[in-house]
A = this chain, B = another copy of it.
Amino acid sequence: MVGNSNRVDTFETIKIQPEIPMFQSPFEIHKVRLPPQRTTLQKLRLRLSEIFFPDDPFHGFKNQTWIIKFLLALQYLFPIFQWGPQYNLKLLRSDIVSGLTIASLAIPQGISYAKLANLPPIIGLYSSFVPALIYSILGSSKHLAVGPVSIASLVMGSMLSESVSYNQDPILYLKLAFTSTLFAGLFQASLGVLRLGFVIDFLSKATLVGFMAGAAIIVSLQQLKGLLGILHFTNKMQIVPVLASVFKQRDEWSWQTILLGISFLAFLLTTRHISMKKPKLFWISAAAPLTSVILSTILVFSMRHKIHKIAIIGELPKGINPPSSNMLFFNGPYLALAIKTGLVSGILSLTEGIAVGRTFASLRNYQVDGNKEMMAIGLMNIAGPCCSCYVTTGSFSRSAVNYNAGAQTAVSNIIMASAVLVTLLFLMPLFYYTPNVILAAIIITAVIGLIDFQVAYKLWKVDKLDFLACLCSFFGVLFISVPIGLGIAVAISVFKILLHVSRPNTLVLGNIPGTPIFHNLNQYKDALRIPSFIILAVESPIYFANATYLQERILRWVREEEEYVKANNGSMLKCVILDMTAVTDIDTNGIDTLCELRRRLEQKSLQLVLANPVGSVMEKLHESNILESFGMKGLYLSVGEAVADISSSWKAQP
């Protein structure tokens, strides 16, 4: 009686059948049963627990003492208490190696992604420090490496830059970035607390594939600014103004910058290619960004008296994250923009973080709790903007490196944060001569991997409407804007569900000879029609959105069958069997439709029989008092029993 909610609800011990059942004659007829009666309150409780607690998070808490319950709650809220006590030196060694490896990636990525969000580079380093510490305490994934990510940086940069330019008003821009991050965090944490994690499921894979490809193209084009050495560039993020800006400023192109950029881009892409071919050599692409930064900085430093045309990062402030809670604002004309940016970047970073966490957890066969992760990522982004961090989440590239480098626990995030701390305290002057073009090359290498032609082709092959959603989010992001592109794609995905419900399939079934199985005549060529019967399977819940359609469609099947029978001198149609197996729900419109259908068929002297109605449908038919009107001969447990019983009753009374 442990844990199984279904079993607990029935208040009965389940008998186990001692051996494999032998199937006897189908002429023994079984009654269709109602599910066990429940009060409205019980039903509501069950329904709500299935909506909000499908993972049954408290099943370990049952039958425990108060002290153990308290300890379990502590472990539930702070997963560090779960794995902390078992932590040992061997694990630490692995974590130090992986932590230092991701730090070497985190420093150039932090600087680059901050530039992607039009923020000062140092913000990117700050954002790799505090959030990583918070995640190591709250996170339930062992392999997730947190920090700024390309998509969220891009979205924040693009949405804020449309209204405010960092160059014109840096303070306002920073305030907006921090406030948006706070709203992103509040949104993420509240999704976790309210257990509304399923909201992110509405960003389907198709939507995300299209979105990421579009975003990658936009970002790469934006990097042409750095790669070509252009000084005056558009703030807009759509493809048309960006390309226009690139070609309008042709006189600003600098061949030294282009040469440097192209060479390092080639280097980075080559290392990426090598690591993709041989996953064992992951460290080549992991080390490449830091190597490029070091090499290019030395190169520019050594030639600093000869070349002046290459833009460099310049002075970076030394020291740990300064507090920034005074930069947050909760009123004024830009509040709506901050909230909107927060929501969009929040939901995207959450999607990435959770997807990445789940991916690596499934590789090592452990569970990541979605709602807990939302709270962890949310708290990172609530605490972050109070100490100069912008939006962060679990990064795919860093987590992959972390996993490959042998990370064992979230301690690798602490090691990475320590390395970033050392950099912040002592190494900042070394980045003075780092050329901007190298950051552009790093960003392009990172985002180019987001374009996935293979998945897009598979979408086209498998599901055309999914492909359409993918295309819409791709072109929407490219030509309109990130939120509108995503909005259109989500609308198409939801429309697809509604279309499936409002125009469900109805199939004609036939019997597979020698079995009690009835199947779609179209799919199974050996299935045979039963004379005088037409057996229809409805493949959807019967709702207001399809009730009228289904009624007309079923009557059309009957009409066509009658015409066919007449044309072929077959035996006259006498009975319509509706296989209700896939009718998983019914509403009041649907019930009316069934009654109406029965009445219309009776006028044609046809009998309507329901086969295998599921529990919830039986309940509603019972509650609306129409079960009686169907009577004993109108409800059967399976199509086979219905056919056998009805035709034998015809034989009895010819």
Contact = CB atoms under 8 A, between A and B. Distances in A.
Contacts of A546: 201
Interface residues of A, number: 137
Contact of A23 (B23, B494, B560): B23
5 pairs of A and B residues whose beta carbons are closest in the complex? A204-B544, A17-B528, A539-B584, A582-B582, A3-B560
A517 B637 contact: yes
Interface in A8-32: 9-10, 12, 14-26, 28, 30
Copies in the complex: 2
A377 B40 CA distance: 43
Contact of A513 (B1, B17, B545, B563): B17
Contact of A30 (B19, B517, B620): B517
A522 B6 contact: yes
A10 B522 contact: yes
A640 B522 contact: no
B643 A20 contact: yes
A256 interface: no
Given A28-B514, A504-B584, 8 more contacts: A4-B561, A19-B531, A51-B499, A56-B556, A201-B548, A466-B587, A500-B541, A505-B584
Given A6-B521, A365-B600, A600-B365, A23 B515 contact: yes
Interface in A461-519: 461-464, 466, 493-494, 496-505, 507-508, 510-517, 519
A301 to B, nearest CB: 48
A367 to B, nearest CB: 8
A553 interface: yes
Nearest to A618: B523
A248 interface: no
A174 B599 CA distance: 46
27 contacts: A3-B560, A6-B522, A7-B564, A10-B521, A14-B521, A14-B528, A20-B648, A21-B513, A24-B514, A28-B514, A33-B525, A36-B523, A51-B499, A55-B552, A55-B556, A56-B556, A206-B587, A207-B544, A362-B596, A362-B599, A461-B623, A462-B591, A497-B498, A504-B584, A512-B637, A516-B516, A523-B615
Contacts of A620: 462-463
A607 interface: no
A459 interface: yes
A544 to B, nearest CB: 3
A547 B201 contact: yes
A17 B497 contact: no
A198 interface: yes
Nearest to A616: B505
A340 interface: no
A644 interface: yes
A204 B587 contact: yes
A545 B458 contact: no
A581 interface: yes
A179 to B, nearest CB: 30
Nearest to A30: B512
Given A497-B497, A585-B500, A9 B522 contact: yes
